[in-house]
């Protein structure tokens, strides 16, 4: 199988998964995400606070929200446009470059 076919399959998988991805992960809002992942966030907090972050494979933006609260700026990208569209609809801190 060619790399292009694998990429197309991956894109199709995430395109169809995007609409129910957050429900599947029980994501309701950023506060719930922060509580659920508290220890992991604490571990990385010193590494991301006031940094410029490039997030690759951001999916629906759950981690993007976590990063945006702490980082100076976040540039989030994903190969699946359907995931990016959901991520863009989430609330992020104002006055920061996201």
Average pLDDT over residues 54-71: 94
Q: Which CATH entry fits the domain spanning 3-88: 3.40.50.150, 3.20.20.120, 3.40.50.1220, 3.40.640.10? A: 3.40.50.150
CA distance 88 to 82: 10
pLDDT in tens, 8-26: 888 888 778 777 777 777 7
**pLDDT confidence tier of residue 1, bands split at 50, 70 and 90:** low
pTM: 0.78
Per the rule left: phi > 0, alpha: psi between -120 and 50, beta: everything else, 92 is: beta
Average pLDDT over residues 63-82: 93
């Amino acid at each position: 199988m060619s790399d292009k076919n694998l990429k197309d399959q991956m894109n199709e998988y995430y395109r169809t998964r995007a609409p129910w991805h957050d429900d599947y992960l029980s994501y309701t809002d950023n506060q719930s995400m922060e509580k659920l992942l508290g220890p992991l966030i604490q571990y990385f907090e010193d590494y991301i606070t006031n940094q410029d972050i490039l997030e690759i494979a951001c999916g629906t933006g759950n981690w993007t929200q976590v990063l945006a609260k702490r980082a100076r700026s976040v540039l989030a990208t994903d190969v699946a446009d359907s995931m990016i569209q959901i991520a863009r609809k989430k609330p992020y801190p104002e006055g920061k470059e996201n």
